[in-house]
Structure 1
Amino acid sequence: MRGRPGLLFFSGLPGNLQMTFVPVDFLLKEAMKGNYAVGAFNCNNMEIVQAIVRAAEEENAPVIMQASQGAIKYAGIGFITAMAREAAANAKVPVALHLDHGTSFDQVMQCLRNGFSGVMIDGSKHPLEENIALTRQVIAAARPIGVSVEAELGKIGGTEDDITVSEREAMFTDPAEAKYFVEQTGVDSLAVAIGTAHGQYKGEPKLDFERLKKIVSMVDIPIVLHGSSGVPGEAVQEAIALGVRKVNIDTNIREAFVAACRKVLDTDSREIDPRKVLGPAREAAVEVIREKIRIFGSSGKA
């Protein structure tokens, strides 16, 4: 991947919102060719945005920054977009901006208007046909402006912002349904449920690799692994070898970030300079992200 091919320029946006991001679909197609996965890291504040790009640059890797509903609610889509735009404009590696777990058409449209280069519509809580209909609606809006669409089939356990799925309700993705879903929607990538969960794990997760094999054999699009924080590196690498091309990480970044903040404040409880608290946290996030990029096999792929 030389230079920054496949860049998107949303000329139809207002002047102050025009921006350039690499399409998520381009990054994942390159990953399919190279048999590696691209890391998708959630950004919640400026320091984490900076950490994501710096880690990617140090590893010479393509990277996807993700904004979840919680991040957008916390920072505001204007701030998230502005930070990501600044980071991407000055980055030495390809950077994409992606909506993570969008749950409504209106939210997707908001992200499209703000120049995201990939969106996820999570209709997994709906019956299959409703999920298909919602995904088609999003694709009809996103594809004409070159924005790729990720969907989800099956339910991933745990909590993602305000979306909660109990262990009892968590359902693995059915391979035959995955084939039907992709045929009916033409979606660009698919998040599947094979045993991962959002948030912190109570024990070591066991991934259903046979199910993953079946899904990959029946669909010819990039597969996405959500809830990958806490999954052993060897298991993630096996999933990538079987066809996963996008791996989402959030919790591990939060853990490292907050632990570094606590360490500073435990050392000096009278510290009042946010830079001295958040600076070490940013460094801790960089190291976590670099490690994940190496696990994913995307180092040196920019």
Structure 2
Amino acid sequence: MTLALTRDLVAAADARGAAVGAFNVIHLETAEALARAAENAGLPVILQISQNCADYHGGLAPIASATLAVARASAAPIAVHLDHADREELVDEAIALGFGSVMFDGAALPYDLNVAATARVVAAAHAAGVSVEGELGEIGGKDGAHAPGVRTDPGEAQSFVAATGVDALAVAVGSSHAMTARTAQLDLDLIGRLKAALPVPLVLHGSSGVSDDVIGAAIAAGMAKINVSTHLNGYFSRAVRGVLDADPVLVDSRRYVREGRAAVAAEAERMLRLFAGEAVLAR
């Protein structure tokens, strides 16, 4: 299937009061699992490759090429997105490789510098037909920047969107990256005010630390793209650990990685259905 565009998937979900799942690729098996989840659910998915993931693989091109190939071969609508890039040259590379969207993360910059850098990225991306997600209000927990009290101001967000031309905005509403317990409490009133103030879809980062019920409430309040990474990584790791614990002399990595891939596919499918508004069992 032809690659889907992130902006189309997010807009379609937003229009029906739902959200689309955006799941981080760590390695080829993750991409395969996420494509399988979308196919089984009959729902679209966004495959995200972060700057950290690109650095882990020694560059963006190897993991991007594999992920794009998986997406193009899938029967499901799949978009490929660059996540949390703070290097403009990496954004340029993602655009050249064929990504449909990029996230420029200038949240650690002073407001004026964030606006200027994000606007440059938007100009380059839009010229290539690529959409841009920006971020305003630092989301805690990433790279040690734990700031649980930080919140995105609706007025400032409105000015930021107007000044930069971003197509979606990641906002700080109480979630935190890399949480392994699903205990984060979101400011649902703030999500509603941001939704009312902004002409672009809202993105929830740090969703691994948010329970099913609260994610559902956040979607009802206005979130249209839900990012998940750590939660699915836990499923992969626990499945692999279980196989190795059961067979300490096993050396064929395909036999245990296969189980990790299957575990991610099952949970990602469940989450896609949850975000789409289908009734699913909580995990």
Q: Sequence identity of aligned pairs in percent?
A: 38
What is the aligned partner in structure 1 of residue 131 from structure 2? 148
Question: What does residue range 180-199 of structure 1 map to in structure 2 within 5 Å?
Answer: 180-199=159-178
Whether the 8 Å CA contact 1:62–1:298 is kept in 2: the answer is: no
Whether the 8 Å CA contact 1:252–1:288 is kept in 2: the answer is: no
Residue 211 of structure 1: CA displacement? Answer: 0.9
1:133 and 2:116 matched? yes
Q: What is the TM-score with the length of structure 1 in the denominator?
A: 0.88
> What 5-or-longer segments of structure 2 have no aligned partner?
279-283
Aligned length: 277
What is the aligned partner in structure 1 of residue 52 from structure 2? 70
Structure 1 Cα separation of the partners of residues 179 and 11 of structure 2: 30
1:52 and 2:34 matched? yes
What is the aligned partner in structure 2 of residue 164 from structure 1? 144
Q: 1:115 aligns with which of 98, 105, 115?
A: 98
What is the aligned partner in structure 2 of residue 16 from structure 1? none
SS of alignment partner, residue 294 of structure 1: helix
Whether the 8 Å CA contact 2:157–2:198 is kept in 1: the answer is: yes
What is the aligned partner in structure 2 of residue 31 from structure 1? 13
CA-to-aligned-CA distance 1:173-228 (integer Å, 9 cap, x gap) = 01111111111112100000000000125671110011111111100111000000
What is the aligned partner in structure 1 of residue 281 from structure 2? none
Q: 1:256 aligns with which of 223, 226, 235?
A: 235
What is the aligned partner in structure 2 of residue 222 from structure 1? 201
Read off the aligned partner of 2:227 and give its amino acid letter.
Answer: N
Whether the 8 Å CA contact 2:146–2:176 is kept in 1: the answer is: no
Structure 2 Cα separation of the partners of residues 204 and 139 of structure 1: 34
SS of alignment partner, residue 109 of structure 1: helix
Whether the 8 Å CA contact 2:240–2:260 is kept in 1: the answer is: yes
Q: Which runs of 4+ in 1 moved over 4 A?
A: none
Structure 1 Cα separation of the partners of residues 231 and 267 of structure 2: 7
What is the aligned partner in structure 1 of residue 219 from structure 2? 240
Q: What value does the CA root-mean-square deviation take over the aligned residues? A: 1.5
Whether the 8 Å CA contact 2:177–2:209 is kept in 1: the answer is: no
Structure 2 Cα separation of the partners of residues 153 and 71 of structure 1: 22
Structure 2 Cα separation of the partners of residues 230 and 123 of structure 1: 23
CA-to-aligned-CA distance 1:94-125 (integer Å, 9 cap, x gap) = 11110110102111111111111100001111
Structure 2 Cα separation of the partners of residues 191 and 90 of structure 1: 29
1:274 and 2:253 matched? yes
Structure 1 Cα separation of the partners of residues 4 and 106 of structure 2: 25
Structure 2 Cα separation of the partners of residues 83 and 27 of structure 1: 21
Of stretches 26-35 and 38-47 in structure 1, the one that deviates more from structure 2 is 26-35
Structure 2 Cα separation of the partners of residues 259 and 38 of structure 1: 25
Whether the 8 Å CA contact 1:157–1:198 is kept in 2: the answer is: yes
